[in-house]
Amino acid sequence: MTSQTIKFTLRGICMVLIVLVVVSGPAAAQTNDEDKTLSPYFFVQGDPRTDQLPLKDTSVNIAVSGVIADVTIRQTYRNEGTRPINARYVFPASTRAAVYSMRMRIGDEVIVAKIKEREAAKQEFEEAKKEGKSASLLEQNRPNVFSMNLANLMPNEEVQIELRYTELLVPTDGTYEVVYPTVVGPRYSSENESTAPNQDKWVSSPYLHQGSRPTSTLHISARISAGVPIKDLACTSHQIVPEWVSPSVAQLKLDESDTFTGNRDFILRYRLAGDAITSGLLLYQGQDENFFLYMAQPPQRVATEDIPPREYIFVVDVSGSMDGFPLNTAKQLLRDLIGQLRPTDLFNVVLFAGDASILSEQSLQANPHNISRAIGLIEQQRGSGGTELLPAIKQAMNIPRTANFSRSVVLVTDGYVSGEEGVFEYIRQNLNHYNIFPFGIGTGVNRYLIEGVAKAGMGEPFIVTEEAEAGSIAAKFREYIQTPVLTDVKVRSIGFDTYDVHPIQLPDLLARRPVIVFGKWRGPIAGTFELRGLTAHGEYVSNFDVAGVQPDEGNRALRYLWARSRIAELSDYGSSSVSDDRVKEITELGLKYNLLTQFTSFIAIRERVANATGSADDVEQPLPLPVGVSDLAVGSEPELLWTIAAVLMIGLVIVALKRFRSLGVYR
């Protein structure tokens, strides 16, 4: 064989392999549609006559009064193509959001959406779509992931959707945090696409490539009326322009120099003067029902010498979506946490992606040798593959225990997994064996998973959104998990007639965070609320006098917050399958209190026919990848493996070419 023949043969092989990677890889990975799993995919521009990016702008207004936030979102959609479209957009919200209103505006016409059972609303929407009517449908896929569906958006037509929700702000260690999530991160799911339930199919969503700017603009404004002087007001995620109306009232908006910032959560933090979280009671008196919210300040932290021996098991996500900033931050976090353990403590490390691996079959003493061994294992990691969390949690829980040690599991992940309910259920079933503390890392963390794990484990979620804050938050996290405050917590009303009170079970307190109880009341406003629990030094009791509090019309949000809290107990963080009785109760709560739930949806229909033919292109609005998340997070695992294998083959051929050249076979 001549050198020229070898040269062209090898180059031909390279070209064929490149074509295979680009064209055949994904198809070869899943040749049978029935075998496809729910996987996100990269957006590819299609017919130029169809506007595949109809969401143009999101405007958010946040109004905080005391401990209650009321949020208004306006999404502006415009069809700049030449064909009618039916659009779908997946977007996030707070896990605590009680969505109670939706309106659709087309020109000067405003249609107020109605709350209906999910399937009935879906059917009405599909009928309106076929009849050529403009319509909008808001559905809940997860408590923090919603889908907006638009039907018959005509060329050059603009539709504005207004959503309103309220949520309770609960301070941690004296700091209040207002979060508006802007993007849903890609989720890994092993569910079969052909058999997956409709509420899970949002997982198969299009994404822009790593580093691509969002295609729609974002505007956020906020007003905080705290009632007492505000201090340390700061936004860690975006540039803001603050304006002080008074020491206790602050207004702010995003810096308008860059409005394409919808690829990371908006996070606003502030403290109140005096660093005090006072006990309090909010009352609302309605026509048919009265609602209350009780908030009690726990005691100070206990002394370090009173803490029992501890065992920590670190469960760390090393999947593809963690590559880069999240995994680097996770490594630093683990170095800090493991390095601060006492010699009497035990620890272990479980790493997980598509499968799980463990540092040691038995937990190790926190001595310098074992700490160095663990850090060495963590340092070797580079994010790859999908994310299977439940097997890792089970493996951590099944590590043999040492008697008289307080066992805690620390979960470190961005939360880009599906099937969260199975994780919550397993945690609830095993709470008597361990504590669990989730630590989320990423610019668009799956807060449903992180906060759901915290709630199922009756703990507190911690989230890092950028590398600069990792050290300070890790220090707070370490202090939080190593020092119990109040256990066996109980709240009861004495002489004040309360009912439908929840949560029924209160978590142990591990930081300076108030105890929150919702409920309904009847009869005279008299009596006391009693908070009782145990500290390391004995029993703790505090009492709050109800008689000094009057109902306030401004507390109307308590009606929605009570219903949302009850719905969360029934469905958000419970069993992977909701019983028929619970489905009925959740549906009734959604309909009665005008709330979006997994079984109720908002539907708005414009009765005038806009599209006489009823023919329109279906469009899935692509989402930006959260800042710091790489392309490795998108696509199914078989596709990734095929691509990696093909790239390796190309690399081998290139090496062979260079080798032949060095041997003088060809030039």
What is the C-alpha to C-alpha distance for residues 434 and 118, in angstroms, rounded to an integer? 38
The answer to whether residue 537 scores a pLDDT higher than 60 is yes
pLDDT of residue 571: 78
Structure tokens at 585: 């109760």
Q: What is the pTM of this model?
A: 0.77
What is the C-alpha to C-alpha distance for residues 392 and 576, in angstroms, rounded to an integer? 18
Model confidence at 555, pLDDT cuts 50, 70, 90, reads very high
226 vs 307, residue with greater confidence: 226
* Exposure string over 267-300, b if 16+ CB within 10 A, otherwise e: bbbbbbeeeebebebbbbeeeebbbbbbbbbbee
Contact 562/518 with Cβ under 8 angstroms? yes
Domain ranges within the chain, ordered by starting residue = 285-301+486-592, 308-482
pLDDT of residue 143: 85
The answer to whether residue 127 scores a pLDDT higher than 70 is yes
Contact 403/388 with Cβ under 8 angstroms? no
Contact 114/603 with Cβ under 8 angstroms? yes
The answer to whether residue 28 scores a pLDDT higher than 50 is no
pLDDT of residue 524: 96
The answer to whether residue 81 scores a pLDDT higher than 70 is yes
3 vs 620, residue with greater confidence: 620
- Kindly report, residue by residue over 594-607, the tens digit of the pLDDT: 999 999 999 999 99
Does domain 285-301+486-592 fall under CATH 2.60.40? My reply is yes
428 vs 446, residue with greater confidence: 446
pLDDT of residue 511: 67
pLDDT of residue 31: 43
43 vs 564, residue with greater confidence: 564
What is the C-alpha to C-alpha distance for residues 55 and 46, in angstroms, rounded to an integer? 17
DSSP assignment of 74-127 equals: EEEEE--SSS-EEEEEEEE--TT-EEEEEEEEETTEEEE-EEEEHHHHHHHHHH
The answer to whether residue 544 scores a pLDDT higher than 50 is yes
What is the C-alpha to C-alpha distance for residues 516 and 412, in angstroms, rounded to an integer? 26
Q: Which residue has the tokens 């989230």?
A: 463
Lowest mean pLDDT among 12-16, 104-108, 556-560: 12-16
Model confidence at 111, pLDDT cuts 50, 70, 90, reads very high
The answer to whether residue 109 scores a pLDDT higher than 90 is yes
Contact 43/201 with Cβ under 8 angstroms? no
- Kindly report, residue by residue over 165-215, the tens digit of the pLDDT: 999 998 877 789 999 999 888 877 777 777 777 777 888 888 999 889 899
Q: What is the mean pLDDT of residues 554-559?
A: 94
Query: 308-482: what fold?
Result: Rossmann fold (3.40.50)
The answer to whether residue 238 scores a pLDDT higher than 80 is yes
What is the C-alpha to C-alpha distance for residues 296 and 155, in angstroms, rounded to an integer? 55
- Kindly report, residue by residue over 620-667, the tens digit of the pLDDT: 999 998 888 888 878 644 444 444 455 556 656 666 656 656 666 555
pLDDT of residue 302: 64
CB atoms within 10 A of CB 35: 12
pLDDT of residue 451: 86
Backbone angles phi, psi at 68, to 5 degrees: -115, 130
Contact 579/425 with Cβ under 8 angstroms? no
Beta-bridged to residue 164, according to DSSP, are: 72, 101
Q: What is the mean pLDDT of residues 161-165?
A: 97
Backbone angles phi, psi at 618, to 5 degrees: -85, 130
Maximum average pLDDT range among 118-127, 355-364, 398-407: 118-127
